[in-house]
Amino acid sequence: MEASYTAFTVKCSVQKKSSSVSRNFYHFNIPLSSSFKPILGSLPQIPLQIDVPKTLTSFTAKILDAFVDSVFEFIDHPLLPSQSNFAPVEQLEEAMLMTDIEGDVPHDFPEGVYVRNGPNPLFGGLKTAKSIFGRSSHVWVEGEGMLHALYFKKASDGNWTVIYKNRYVETETYKLEKQRNKPSFLPAIGGDSLAILSAYLLNWLRFGKVNKYISNTNVFEHSGKFYSIAENHIPQEIDIITLKTLRNWDINGAGDRPFISHPKKAPGTGELIIMGVSPTKPFATLGIISDDGKKLIHKVDIKLNRCSLCHEIGITQRFNVIMDFPLTLDLNRLMRGGPLIEYNKKGYARIGVMPRYGDANSIQWFEVKPNCTFHIINSFEDAHEVVVWGCRALGSVVPRVDPSLNPFEAFSRCYEWRLNLQSGEVNERDLGGTKVLNMDFPTINANFIGIKNRYGYTQVVDPEATYSAGVPKYGGLAKLYFEKACMDLSTNNKQHEEPIKVEYHMFEKNVFCTGASFVLKSDGVEEDDGWIITFIHNEDTDISQAHIIDTRKFSGDAVAKITIPLRVPYGFHGAFMPVSLEA
C-alpha cells in the first residue's frame, strides 16, 4: 500500500445521529464606522466590510505601500521554549498514510473525518509592527486558519485505513498576502492605541479591510456542507475531503456580517441559530438559517448597549440563550488611549432568554455575577427554568493570560445558572466544588444539544504550564457526571449544593491536548456510548499523536494512539464529521 494518498472521494451522507458540531475561541474584525467601521471576528482581529474607495488609483496604492514599507518594521514574536508547539507548520502537498498506531481503532468507531482548526500564521509567525506611531501586535489567538484532519476508512475485512492531511483555509486576505509573498496587513488588535488606529486606517486604505480574515477557530456542518469559521468574518465552505476552501457562505446574499464561532442547530427543526457581533451599532444581531442552509429566515437586532465579545450562543427546545458579559471591544475606549479589548471584572453581566423567533423586546434578562464565559457546555429547559452550564472564569485569557491572577480567578470552572422564567430569580453555583480542576473547551454528545444531558467532557487546564507559556495549555481531559447533582432538582433544592462527579484522564507531564471532540459509536445507544478523540503533543519528544479514549473507561489508557509523522501545533476546536468514504 502506498505511503501517501492524494484524495478520497466521498458519499457525503452526513449521519444525523452524530452530527458533531464542536465548540473553541474568538476573533474580531473592525470596520471604520463613519471613519472606522469595525466588525468583530477572530478574537483579536477586526475586518472591515467596506470596499476600497473607487478613487484610490494604483499609483496611490503604490505610494501607500511604499509608505508602509519605509515607516513600519515587521518583527516576529519571539517564542519561548514553552511556546514551541504554537509555531506554524508547512502545508502538506499530499495526504499521508498513518502506519504507527498503538492499540486498535475500535471496530464500532464510525467512518468519517476528525478535523481540528487552529492558527497557523503565514511568514514564520505572529508579528509586531513598529513605527513612529508606536507598536501594534498580533495576540495569541490570531494567525491564519489551518485545518488538520484524520480520515478513518474501514475495509470489508474490518481493518482501518487512517490518513492525515492539513491545509490552510484560503480566505481573501490569505490569498492576498500569499500573492504578495510578504506580511502586508498591519497588526490591529494589541499595542499602542495610535499604532492600532494607524493600522486600521492604512489596512483599510490599501485593502478595504481593517484586519485579516482568520477563519481559525471552529469547523461545523450544516445541511451536508462543512464550514470553517472565526468571529471576524462569515464562514468559509470547505471540501471536507480535500480541505480545499470553496467559497464564502453568505446565505445567498443575506449574510452581511460575521458569525460567532459556535452556531447551534435547533432541536427538532435542524435550523441553524447564529449571532453576529460588531463594535458599532447594532452591536449584536441574531439570525436563524433554514435547515437546508439556503435562507436566512429570521434576523433581529437584540439591542445590546455594548459590544460584548460573545463567542457562543445557547439554545433550548424553545429559546435562544444570549450571554452579555463584560469582556468588551470598544472603539471609543481605544480613541481615548485605552485598550481595544478589555475585561471589566466590576462590569455588569447578564443572560438573556429569547423565544426562538423573538426580538429584543421579548428577551427576558437575568442579572448574574460578573464573569467571563467563552464556552457553553449545554443549555436546556427544566420545568419553569432555563438551565445553562458553562465554563466560567473570573478573569479573561483574552487578549492575554493575566499572571497576577491565581488559577481560581484566571481559568474557567464548570458553572451552572438556573434562570426562573416565572419569578425572574437566578440561582448560580460552581458545579464541581473547590476540588475540581480548571477546565474549558467542552464537548457533548451532539444529539443532546439544547435538551437535558447527563454527561459532558472538557479539557483540563495545566496552570503551571499556562503561566510559563503565557497562553492556555491543557494537560488532561475530564468527564462530567451531571446526574449526580441534577437528579430530581425540582423536588430537592439541597442537591443544588452538591458537587458533581468528575472523572479525569490526565496525560504525562509536558503532554498537552487540543481539539477534543466526542464521537458517538456507530451503534451507540446510551448518551456516553462513544469516545473522545483529541490531538496531543509531547513537548519532551516533540511527537504529536491523536488519542482515542473510551468514554466508559475514561480514566484508563487510550484505546488507540495514532502517531502523526510531523508536528501538529496547538489549536482550537475539533469536530468529528461522520461521513461515508470511498478510497
Residue positions counted in the chain: 583
Report the SS3 class of residue 462. Answer: coil
Residue 2 has pLDDT above 80, yes or no: no
Q: Which helix (H) or strand (E) holds 61?
A: helix 58-71
Q: Could you give the CA distance from residue 520 to residue 213 in angstroms, rounded to a whole number?
A: 33
Q: pTM of the entire structure?
A: 0.89
- Indicate if the pLDDT at residue 251 is higher than 80: yes
End-to-end CA distance of the chain: 12
pLDDT tens-digit series, residues 536-569: 999 999 999 999 999 999 999 999 999 999 999 9
Asked if 233 and 29 touch (Cβ cutoff 8 Å), the reply is: yes
What is the structure's pLDDT at 485? 57
- pLDDT tens per residue, range 349-373: 999 999 999 999 999 999 999 999 9
CA angle 116, 436, 505 (to 5 degrees): 45
Looking at per-residue pLDDT, the higher value among 444 and 408 belongs to: 444
Is residue 47 scored above 70 in pLDDT? no
pLDDT higher than 90, residue 496? no
- Give 56's pLDDT tier (boundaries 50, 70, 90): low
Mean pLDDT of the region 443-455: 97
Is pLDDT at 14 greater than 70 in this prediction? Answer: no
Instruction: At 65, list the grid cell.
Output: 505601500
Query: Residue 564 — φ and ψ, nearest 5°?
Result: -90, 130
- Which residue positions form the known binding site? 262, 311, 375, 573
Q: How far is CA 535 from the centre of its chain?
A: 15
Q: Would the pLDDT of 64 be above 60?
A: yes
- 228-240 pLDDT tens trace: 999 989 999 999 9
402 vs 526, higher pLDDT: 526
User: Residue 259: what pLDDT?
Assistant: 87
At 524 the pLDDT is 82
- Tell the burial category of 280 from Cβ atoms under 10 Å away from its Cβ (0-12, 13-18, 19+): middle
- The average confidence (pLDDT) of the chain is 88
As a whole number of angstroms, the distance between CA 455 and CA 259 comes to 27
For the chain, what is the total number of helices (H) and then of strands (E)?
7, 39
C-alpha dist (Å) from residue 485 to 78, 426, 496, 555: 46, 17, 7, 21
- The string of pLDDT tens digits covering residues 82-110 is 999 999 999 999 999 999 999 999 999 99
Q: SS3 of 346, please?
A: coil
Which uninterrupted H or E stretch holds 487?
Answer: none
Known binding site for Fe cation: residues? 262, 311, 375, 573
Contacts of 452 (CB under 8 A, 6+ apart): 380, 382, 387
Q: Exposed/middle/buried for 363, CB within 10 Å: 0-12, 13-18, 19+?
A: buried
At 245, list the grid cell.
Answer: 476552501
